[in-house]
Amino acid sequence: MVSEKLIPYLVDSIKSYWDMPAFTDYPGPALHYSDVGKRILWLHQIYKACGLSKGSRIALAGKNSANWGVVWLSAVTYGATVVPILVNFSPEDTAHIINHSESELVFISRDKFDSIDEEQLRRVKTVYSLDDLSPLVNKTEAKKDSGKNLTMPPEIANISAGAFTIPDVCDNEDLATIIYTSGTTGFSKGVMLPHRSLLANLIYAREKLTFKVGAKVLAFLPLAHSFASAFDMLYPFTRGNHINFMDKIPAPKVLLSALQDLKPNVVMVVPLLIEKIYKRQLQPLIETPKMRAMLKVPLLKNLVHKKIRDKLLTAFGGNIDELISGGAPMNTEVEDFMMQIKFPFTIGYGMTECGPLISYSRWFTHRAESSGQIVNTLRCKIESPDPEKIPGEVLLAGDNVFLGYYNNPEATAETLKNGWLHTGDIGTLDKDGFIYLRGRSKNMILGPSGENIYPELVEQKLNNLPYVLETLVLERDRQLHALVYPDLEALDQAHIPESKVPQIMEENRLSANKVLADFSRIVKIHVVNEPFQKTPTQKIKRYLYR
């Protein structure tokens, strides 16, 4: 059980790195740690004037920004419960979450606020613009004292690092945040994470990750998701990092340009970005006849791999110690190639209900097809007669685990049973604590003779085939069908007309079926015209296509 406290970590960071840059809306000017600290104190005064107390809910809706980080930190250090709302939620969903969480104060970007009927927000007394922290709506009686005056008081504006302090009003079991998931099942539930969970993730990161003090961090994954808030903001903030916020997940070209500029030493990504870089930049290179011939000669193979590795390191800014992928499974072909060239990448595993980290290992200890080693703040068991060989549901217990789903006792009882979190993920666990995921129990398809078919594994085979960008395997009439979104850019570059796509995909189906078990073979491929809708961590929302 963690014995330290979260708020002192944040106070110490502000005091220790007072004159160093903290937050930037990339590529703009920086807020220093002193600026962040002063804004936190100023917002605390506003919360008090608005009548907020410990445990009050503060909703936060908008794109990644320095103000987003300031508000999140100010809410948690005040003892309030922050309710971050994913930017891609509809206006109706956003209003529902604000109401369901019983939020009293809202920070929201103007563009999102304009699409919401403020009269629907039942308990909300005050609304502030996330763009500039100015008030948009004020229903409180003490209007003059509730933030109408945007001038920071002199006693805060002139405070020194030595005098800076925030009282620690929270216990580790106090509720820090309610995160409404945007999962693959279609139901948004409020995950209640206590200070204990955030702290367990933070302490593990400080022990195991390699962010250098003062290094630049590029934060482009949505901060309303637990992965980004923990490892693109909270942990780097305690390391004196300069966090550069991008307001959306960039295209590979934009991402690589930003990395060239910032030269971070650790980069957090979702697998889809790495897979796109591999398929569009590396795969065409290594599949040329000349390169294939060179890769068959041991000495030349080593030289080629080193050259590709160096080129990739340079593309990621030239200063990278580790690239960490998480949020969704990685294509096995891409993973295998990255390991062959000894690129410093690793794969982690997490879920919102663990705030989020479940497993991780450094790149040089990473084991093929694993999702890392179970973290030392969790216990894990596999619901299987032979956990090393026979896949079963992953069960977890420990400091990371959430308190339950807000105002949803039925879902809580279904997920938390006898002291264990039932993840819904299926996998195996080796004797050294490395976990190997096979898929989601809800996605599993029962084969014709009772075989367990994990569509994610079939999709990985299909995704490796020519002119396939992404796939979704479904059961229809007790047979497996695949929806395929083709790689339009690759088709254009090869001057292949649209009329030829069905023939190419049929050839792909026959090719895939040669390596698939007979019970998991695809009976038909259906070409779709639009990319699949995805969660913020780029997992396909399967429920939309069933």
Structure token pair of residue 249: 């997940």
d(CA 184, CA 443): 10
Q: Where are the alpha helices (DSSP H) in 88-241?
A: 91-100, 110-113, 154-157, 195-208, 226-228, 235-237
Give Cβ neighbours of residue 251 (< 8 Å, ≥ 6 apart): none
Query: For the segment 328-365, what is each residue's pLDDT rounded down to a tens digit?
Result: 677 788 899 899 999 999 999 999 999 999 999 999 99
Max Cα separation, the chain? Answer: 79
**Is the pLDDT assigned to residue 15 strictly greater than 70?**
yes
* Whether residue 293 is found in the same domain as residue 435: yes
Look at residues 381, 84, 71 and name the one whose alpha carbon lies nearest to residue 227: 84
The sign of the torsion formed by the CA atoms of 59, 65, 69, 71 equals: negative
Structure token pair of residue 429: 């666990």
d(CA 347, CA 414): 28
> How large is the average pLDDT for residues 311-320?
88
Structure token pair of residue 124: 């909300």
Query: When comparing pLDDT for 505 and 450, which is higher?
Result: 505
Query: When comparing pLDDT for 288 and 142, which is higher?
Result: 288
* Whether residue 460 is found in the same domain as residue 436: no
Contacts within 8 Å (CB) and 24+ apart, 528-535: 528/483, 528/484, 528/485, 529/485, 530/485, 531/469, 531/470, 531/485, 532/470, 532/472, 532/483, 532/485, 535/182, 535/183, 535/184
**Is the pLDDT assigned to residue 107 strictly greater than 70?**
yes
pLDDT bin (cut points 50, 70, 90) of residue 144 is very low
d(CA 145, CA 535): 40
CB 436 within 8 A of CB 380: no
Give bridge partners of residue 217 from the DSSP assignment.
243
Give bridge partners of residue 405 from the DSSP assignment.
191
Structure token pair of residue 186: 């279609």
* Whether residue 433 is found in the same domain as residue 473: no
* Whether residue 295 is found in the same domain as residue 176: no
* Whether residue 365 is found in the same domain as residue 492: no
CB 196 within 8 A of CB 222: no
pLDDT bin (cut points 50, 70, 90) of residue 147 is very low
The amino acid occupying position 224 is: A
CA 521-522-526 angle, to 5 degrees, is 170
Q: What percent of the chain has pLDDT over 90?
A: 59
The domain tally of the chain equals 3
Last residue of a domain, one of 440, 469, 502: 440
* Whether residue 175 is found in the same domain as residue 294: no
> How large is the average pLDDT for residues 516-543?
84
Query: For the segment 108-139, what is each residue's pLDDT rounded down to a tens digit?
Result: 999 999 998 888 888 898 999 999 999 998 87
pLDDT bin (cut points 50, 70, 90) of residue 146 is very low
Is residue 252 included in any domain, yes or no?
A: no
Look at residues 88, 94, 92, 71 and name the one whose alpha carbon lies nearest to residue 177: 71
What separation in angstroms does the CA of 516 have from each of 22, 173, 441, 511, 520?
50, 48, 20, 9, 6
* Whether residue 418 is found in the same domain as residue 461: no
> How large is the average pLDDT for residues 75-90?
93
Quick check: helix, strand or coil at residue 440?
strand
> 10 Å Cβ neighbour count for 130?
24
Range of the domain at 142: 6-20+28-196
Is residue 524 included in any domain, yes or no?
A: yes
Residue with tokens 């195991």: 208
Looking at residue 289, its pLDDT comes to 86
Looking at residue 106, its pLDDT comes to 96
Last residue of a domain, one of 161, 196, 231: 196
Looking up residue 368, the CATH number of its domain turns out to be 3.40.50.12780
Structure token pair of residue 348: 């982690």
Is residue 245 included in any domain, yes or no?
A: no
> How large is the average pLDDT for residues 226-230?
92
Residue with tokens 């870089």: 277
Residue ranges of E strands in 276-389: 322-325, 345-347, 349-350, 357-360, 373-374, 378-383
Q: What phi and psi, each to the nearest 5 degrees, are found at residue 307?
A: -65, -45
The sign of the torsion formed by the CA atoms of 330, 334, 339, 343 equals: negative
DSSP state of 469: E
DSSP state of 18: T
> How large is the average pLDDT for residues 21-43?
96
Give Cβ neighbours of residue 39 (< 8 Å, ≥ 6 apart): 31, 70, 74, 133, 152
Is residue 454 included in any domain, yes or no?
A: yes
Look at residues 496, 200, 231 and name the one whose alpha carbon lies nearest to residue 346: 231
* Whether residue 361 is found in the same domain as residue 498: no
Is residue 138 included in any domain, yes or no?
A: yes
Q: What is the chain's mean pLDDT, rounded?
A: 89
> How large is the average pLDDT for residues 448-468?
80
Structure token pair of residue 142: 């003490």
Query: For the segment 473-513, what is each residue's pLDDT rounded down to a tens digit?
Result: 988 877 889 999 999 888 888 899 989 999 999 999 999 89
Last residue of a domain, one of 173, 196, 219: 196
* Whether residue 529 is found in the same domain as residue 424: no
**Is the pLDDT assigned to residue 230 strictly greater than 90?**
yes
**Is the pLDDT assigned to residue 537 strictly greater than 70?**
no
Looking up residue 467, the CATH number of its domain turns out to be 3.30.300.30
* Whether residue 413 is found in the same domain as residue 274: yes
Look at residues 147, 136, 168 and name the one whose alpha carbon lies nearest to residue 39: 147
* Whether residue 281 is found in the same domain as residue 408: yes
Peptide bond into 356 cis (omega under 30): yes
Burial class (CB in 10 A: 0-12, 13-18, 19+), 8: exposed
d(CA 258, CA 471): 29
Is residue 259 included in any domain, yes or no?
A: no
Name the range with the highest mean pLDDT among 180-184, 282-286, 428-432.
428-432
Is residue 421 included in any domain, yes or no?
A: yes
> Which contiguous run of DSSP H or E holds residue 85?
strand 81-85
Pairing of strands 357-360, 373-374: antiparallel
d(CA 242, CA 262): 10
Range with lowest mean pLDDT among 29-38, 84-93, 240-249, 359-368: 84-93
* Whether residue 378 is found in the same domain as residue 477: no
**Is the pLDDT assigned to residue 427 strictly greater than 70?**
yes
d(CA 509, CA 6): 52
> Which contiguous run of DSSP H or E holds residue 242?
strand 242-245
Contacts within 8 Å (CB) and 24+ apart, 445-450: 445/473, 445/475, 445/480, 447/519, 447/520, 448/478, 448/519, 449/519
Is residue 496 included in any domain, yes or no?
A: yes
Q: What phi and psi, each to the nearest 5 degrees, are found at residue 136?
A: -110, -35
Total residue length of the chain: 546
Q: What percent of the chain has pLDDT over 70?
A: 95
